[in-house]
Amino acid sequence: MTNIASLFFRFDRFLDATPIGNGNINDTYRLNIEVAGEQKSVLLQRLNHLVFKQPDDVMENTLQVSRHLSAQDYSYQIAEPLPGLDGFFLQNDLAGNFWRVFSFLENSFAPEGTTDAFIAYEAARAYGAFARALHNFPAETLAETIPGFHDTDRRWEAFLKVLKEDPAKRAKNTQPEIEVIFAIKPIFDKISYLKKSGELPLRVAHNDTKAGNVLFDRSTQKAIAVIDLDTVMPGTLLSDFGDMVRTFAPDCSEDAISSPVLRTDILDALKRGFLEETERFLSKSERENLMLGAAWMVGEQALRFLTDWLAGDVYYKINSPEHNLVRARNQLALLGAMNGK
């Protein structure tokens, strides 16, 4: 780590690099160094170039969005990217890995596990403020850091291909789940129509609006920053609201064998917080279809898990033989619990 740190800073002494967070893609550390007798802390992160195949695009998006937020009436803090000694924001080690550094926000934490209504409200308001500050940003100028990330039409085609080929010979014993996936296809079709018809404006979307991507002040418990901008790209705010519902509102994780219960107090808190910041600029179609966005995100995730199960577990990491099937059932049960909400 000393060699990586030396690409970004001139320092008197390397103190330590402590892993933080529980991200599944990037490796993140709190880096402590001593400069002129004082300790300096920054966030050091290895960008996973196997997932983000164009690291320069990820960094350019992050820089554009961070600079835009800094120039707006935006009341949240920004974990700003810091350049290396050569002026470039991405640095390579000898193994070809990509590293970057951000300012470290002291006295903060990211929630883990199930959250209460206050945390949900604060997070939703922070994500809403993020969207509001970027609602006039030309979304089309941002790169797609993961092409087709929420292109459910493409994901449906991939599902049909795997279902037809049945490489892991699992389709026969997965008929109940397959039937439910086909039954929810109209949700995907409606979203596809709204996007292609232009009824849903192209917006800057965060695309990973889970609790762990909002930092909270340890003293006040208030949200102070939206982080992890790697998936910020052109999209629709329905996916951002929908992913909040998917990750905040259930009473258990997506890995749970038991059927999730939709916590209505959390759902109400998410709606209230998000709309307080966004209602003034959202289009009529966006306002009317927020819960359709939630159904879309839950259904799309079920589709992804089921596709990977049928393919033989080639994408997601699994902890048990039926892990992806358990996840798919969990999301389908959550979608069922959402009916009528």
Whether residue 69 is found in the same domain as residue 164:
no
| pLDDT mean across residues, the chain | 95
Beta bridge partners of 100: 45
Is 151 part of a structural domain of the chain? yes
Whether residue 102 is found in the same domain as residue 122:
no
Whether residue 80 is found in the same domain as residue 186:
no
How confident is the model at residue 24, as a pLDDT?
64
Beta bridge partners of 34: 13, 39
- Angle at which helix 323-338 crosses helix 175-183, to 10 degrees, equals 40
| CA dist., res. 173 & res. 311, Å (int) | 14
Expressed as residue numbers, the domain containing 19 is 2-106
Q: Give me 51's structure tokens.
A: 């997932």
Domains in the chain, number: 2
On whether the CB atoms of residues 207 and 231 are closer than 8 A, the answer is yes
Strand order in the sheet with 223-226: 108-109, 214-217, 223-226
Q: Give me 182's structure tokens.
A: 């086909």
At 22, the pLDDT band (50, 70, 90 cuts) reads low
Q: Give me 336's structure tokens.
A: 């069922």
Whether residue 92 is found in the same domain as residue 131:
no
At 340, the pLDDT band (50, 70, 90 cuts) reads low
| CA dist., res. 213 & res. 47, Å (int) | 16
The DSSP line for 12-81 is SEEEEEEE-S--SSSEEEEEEEEETTEEEEEEEEEE-TTTSS-HHHHHHHHHHHHHHHHTSS--SB---E
Would you say how long the chain is, in residues?
Answer: 341
Whether residue 95 is found in the same domain as residue 158:
no
In this predicted structure, the answer to whether residue 341 has a pLDDT above a threshold of 80 is no
**How do residues 212-261 score in pLDDT, each as one tens digit?**
999 999 999 999 999 999 999 999 999 999 999 999 999 999 999 999 99
| Domain limit, last residue, from 106, 141, 172 | 106
Output the domain CATH number for residue 97.
Answer: 3.30.200.20
Whether residue 196 is found in the same domain as residue 326:
yes
In this predicted structure, the answer to whether residue 113 has a pLDDT above a threshold of 90 is no
Output the domain CATH number for residue 204.
Answer: 3.90.1200.10
Nearest to 73 by CA among 124, 122, 129, 27: 129
Q: H or E segment at 174?
A: none
| Domain limit, last residue, from 106, 129, 160 | 106
Whole-prediction pTM: 0.94
Whether residue 187 is found in the same domain as residue 317:
yes
In this predicted structure, the answer to whether residue 328 has a pLDDT above a threshold of 80 is yes
Using a 10 angstrom Cβ sphere, with 0-12 exposed, 13-18 middle and 19 or more buried, the burial of residue 135 is middle
Whether residue 132 is found in the same domain as residue 100:
no
Count of beta carbons in the 10 Å neighbourhood of residue 15: 14
Is 111 part of a structural domain of the chain? no
Is 112 part of a structural domain of the chain? no
| Domain limit, last residue, from 106, 132, 157 | 106
Whether residue 156 is found in the same domain as residue 230:
yes
In this predicted structure, the answer to whether residue 301 has a pLDDT above a threshold of 90 is yes
